[in-house]
Amino acid sequence: MKLSKLSHPIARATLAWAAALLFVVIWYFAAQTATGYVFDVKPWSSNYARDLAAHLIIAALLFAIARSLPRFMLATGVLLSALTAGNAAKLSILGAPVMPDDFVAARNMLLLLDGWLLIGAVILVVAPLLLLGWMIAWKHPRTWVGLGIAGVTLSLVVGYPGLVKTALDKRFGNSVWNQPENYQKRGLPIHLLQETARNLSRRVSPPTEAEVADALADLALPSQAGWVKVAAATRPPRNLHLIVLESFWDPAELKASKLSADPLAPEFRALWAAAQHSHLLAPVFGGYTANTELEVLCGFPVTADNVYFETGLKRNAPCLPRHLAEAGYHTQASHPNAASFWNRVNAYRRIGFETYLADKDFAMDDMNRAFLSDASLYRQVLERIEPELSEGRPLFNYVLTYFGHLPYPLNDKRPAVIEAAEGHEVVAAYANTLYYKSRELMAFLATLRAADPDALIVLFGDHLPALQPNFGGYTESGLLAKRRGELEGEMFRTLVQTPLIVVDGKRGPVPVGDVPAYKLPGLVLDLLGDQRPSIMELATQAEGRAAIRPLPGMHFALVDGGIRVCRGTETDPQECAESSEWVRAIETLRDDLLAGDQHSLLQIEAPSESFREAAVAPADATPERYF
């Protein structure tokens, strides 16, 4: 039957819309099947309907402004596939879904890659944007109507994020400590919308003077002046060497991988044993090194799933580098990565480093793909500091290694010497990395201790390595569960526990136990005999209180040799109330001192005026390099 002139375009448009939406339905189930097979990651099947509906709404908006069905299918397929694959990859490697902050940090992630991995990542980011621009019918009025609707919707989310967050939380639920489950309940589009609204709603005013006073009272300090020590130092200044080891952990714990040899150098084993196998409890797993840095340099825990150097550190603060600089130390940071990675140029300056040596300050003469070897880094750092060791001015030498990142590449100088069971190739690659990393470390320590025998040397891993997807590599040995929501008891300690060695000059290694990273600067100052006022004492619990390790949305406490896990749920033990109150109080003081008006410095009686003046000085936001 012949269609009329009126019905013909309507029929064509109907068929086009039906084809566009059918394409998205087919793509959706194919994508879930693929990510489930490759990454073992997908929403719960019971929530497919809501997730598919969200994808169809996005597809309808895109098709409304598309030039043609073929262009829509290509651009939309690439865009949704890139988001889905990126989310699945992050979930399987780091155990957390894509979050709004990841889009801000995308440039940092690209700096970690090279070769085909870098090319692939750039294509993954750029291709969807180019195809969207190519797809849109820019000259058609309906496009601008559609873009206007999208703009109004975005404005409502930005203008009223708290209302949006509350409504979505009520409808879809929210677990702060179990983001993978959030994604599985919501699906990716709803998850990103909900967490974007949450992110925007967090941007509130810094703590008030009254809130800071309440936080100080909640810490139950003996008095307002009780957190500081006497102003006199009990020992002459000596050098401090703080060495942060990328992804440094003990692979021998992976029993199921059946490693053919012990990866760690015998000298390291002996030194660690002399320290009675002390551990650092980091705030992160598999990445986000900067959060461990914030804790060990400023003495406050990181409690959110974002990089505090980028989003939270906004003020000049009397952290460990500035504190030591006031005592006459030369404070120097060395890290052979791009200077701006994780906003380190600004962050290091704000916490008091006088010198920052980054990639352009080192000869890249011994590379494992994109990563300068530890042997070369240590040699070049020694060449720089050796003249200072005999000049009389004390030195704070902070070294952050780069070699040790996934995918654990080696060069021809470092052939693989350790094998693992079939299917454990990533574990084998990591074990071989640790084989060389531990030996290069011990060679450096031997030279450093001979050149600076009285120095305090502290070294530790920044976080556990990311191995196979979904905690693979660990699950086979029973160390971790497959899903974050299934972790129990000691698994949480395993998740964040890395080797820690403190060498106290000629005393040698000293046992310090399991130390949450934020307590390390207070420990360092005690060993240096530095009794001056310090904000690093605020998060050091009073005698008798359990060591607390906050993590995003939860925390655990070490009690009588065991562990008490607190998830903020109705089933938490009653003892969690006190530790939860402590976490909230210390978060308030952290945000006041590092990002707010620094009321804490005025409410606590401190004998050093220079302490306050250095801290309250306005932060310089100019991203300049300094050496």
User: Does pLDDT of 560 surpass 90?
Assistant: no
User: Does pLDDT of 498 surpass 80?
Assistant: yes
Q: Which of 274, 327, 311 is nearest to 503 (CA)?
A: 274
User: Does pLDDT of 574 surpass 90?
Assistant: no
User: In whole angstroms, what is the distance from residue 211 CA to residue 44 CA?
Assistant: 41
- pLDDT for position 612: 52
pLDDT band at residue 115 under the 50/70/90 scheme: low
- pLDDT for position 53: 93
pLDDT in tens, 366-423: 999 889 999 999 999 999 999 988 777 899 999 999 999 878 999 999 999 999 999 9
- DSSP, collapsed to helix, strand or coil, labels residue 497 as strand
List the structure tokens of 505. 């000059």
User: Does pLDDT of 126 surpass 60?
Assistant: yes
Q: Is 501 exposed, middle or buried (0-12, 13-18, 19+ CB in 10 A)?
A: buried
**For the chain, how many residues are written?**
627
- pLDDT for position 157: 84
| 513-535 mean pLDDT | 91
Better-scored residue on pLDDT, 406 or 134: 134
Better-scored residue on pLDDT, 95 or 363: 363
pLDDT in tens, 325-338: 999 999 999 999 88
User: In whole angstroms, what is the distance from residue 241 CA to residue 333 CA?
Assistant: 10
- Name, of 336-345, 404-413, 491-500, 531-540, the range with top average pLDDT: 491-500
- pLDDT for position 453: 94
Helix (H), strand (E) at residue 53: helix 48-64
Helix (H), strand (E) at residue 550: strand 547-551
| 422-438 mean pLDDT | 95
- pLDDT for position 468: 82
Better-scored residue on pLDDT, 304 or 299: 299
- pLDDT for position 621: 42
The pLDDT mean for the chain works out to: 85
| 571-588 mean pLDDT | 86
User: In whole angstroms, what is the distance from residue 260 CA to residue 136 CA?
Assistant: 57
| 512-536 mean pLDDT | 91
- pLDDT for position 229: 44
Strands 509-510 and 497-504, sheet pairing: antiparallel
pLDDT in tens, 226-255: 444 444 445 568 999 999 999 999 999 999
| 571-582 mean pLDDT | 83
- DSSP states of 558-589: EETTEEEEE-SSTTS-TTHHHHHHHHHHHHHH
Least confident range of 24-38, 108-122, 234-248, 278-292: 108-122
- Name, of 266-270, 534-538, 596-600, the range with top average pLDDT: 266-270
- DSSP, collapsed to helix, strand or coil, labels residue 343 as helix
SS (H, E, C) 382-406: HHHHHHHHCCCCCEEEEEECCCCCC
User: Does pLDDT of 605 surpass 70?
Assistant: no
User: In whole angstroms, what is the distance from residue 410 CA to residue 371 CA?
Assistant: 9
Helices (H), 390-473: 425-451
User: In whole angstroms, what is the distance from residue 603 CA to residue 612 CA?
Assistant: 11
List the structure tokens of 168. 């979505």
Q: Which of 620, 625, 609 is nearest to 350 (CA)?
A: 620
Least confident range of 148-162, 426-440, 443-457: 148-162
| 593-612 mean pLDDT | 69
List the structure tokens of 443. 């060679």
- pLDDT for position 622: 38
User: In whole angstroms, what is the distance from residue 159 CA to residue 431 CA?
Assistant: 50
pLDDT band at residue 626 under the 50/70/90 scheme: very low
Q: Report whether 619 contacts 315 (CB < 8 A).
A: yes
| 527-547 mean pLDDT | 78
| 122-144 mean pLDDT | 88
Strands 547-551 and 554-559, sheet pairing: antiparallel
pLDDT in tens, 15-69: 889 999 999 999 999 998 888 888 777 777 778 888 899 999 999 999 999 999 9
Q: Positive or negative, the Cα torsion across 479, 483, 485, 486?
A: negative
User: In whole angstroms, what is the distance from residue 350 CA to residue 322 CA?
Assistant: 9
